[in-house]
Amino acid sequence: MSAQRRLLALDYDGTLVPFTDHPHQAAPPPSVLSLLTALARESKNCVALMSGRPAEDLDRWFGAIGSMWLVAEHGADLKPPGSSWEPLRSPVPTDWKSTVMPILEHFVDRTPGSFVEEKKYALVWHHRLAEPEFGAWLANELVSMLEAMLADTELRAFRGQKMVEVRPVWANKGEAFERILAGYSQPDFLFAAGDDRTDEDLFERLRDGAWTVHVGPGATRAAFMVRDFESLRSLLETFTQARHLKRA
């Protein structure tokens, strides 16, 4: 690959690894850690792992890769290479949780197999273990209820992969990407990959000519699609192979 300044923005769940029944079960396998390490150690690359995961998860799993950006909670928190975590905006009030949490707990009571995850800036109702059609039906009901309730706030309810997440509207990967891009001037190759609606914010921001890749089925703004996380990992492996071939 002839590009001299490459910016790679990668989602995690559903993009580099398959979804799991519970968030804490998705620790990266050695193959993913090796792949990210190989990409990040290349001096021509700026790699950003942009996830909905809390900062604590990303630090625990990827903190040893010191040359890589970490972006937590869809962009609410960022950790530049070799630095500490910083919020995309500050201060960030979280007193709204006491109002939203009882509503989510009510839906847990109505939906066997569902549960609530609390993050620093967000609350998430997961229904991956619920009966699929019933979970999807209640997710629509929950979003409609929350949209009316949150209409005059900076909070929104977002549908994701078998979950509904309530978070600030400004906490998105497109905003976080702009922060990273501001410190990495004039990249000549932009690559972004993701599988969810949260990644569409990023795809929409990228200029023409960027490699935007949607993982899995579904409508997307991305320029390309691959079948699943294994296909995406194979594509990323070719980037590291190209590097080795060039230097041989």
Q: Is 11 a catalytic residue?
A: yes
Structure token pair of residue 75: 């962009």
Contact 155/98 with Cβ under 8 angstroms? no
- Of 11, 57, 196, 201, the catalytic one is 11
Type of residue at 125: W
Cα–Cα distance for residue pair 107/145, rounded to 1 Å: 11
Contact 166/156 with Cβ under 8 angstroms? yes
Cα–Cα distance for residue pair 152/219, rounded to 1 Å: 29
Rg (CA), the chain: 18
Cα–Cα distance for residue pair 56/209, rounded to 1 Å: 34
Which residues are identified as catalytic? 11
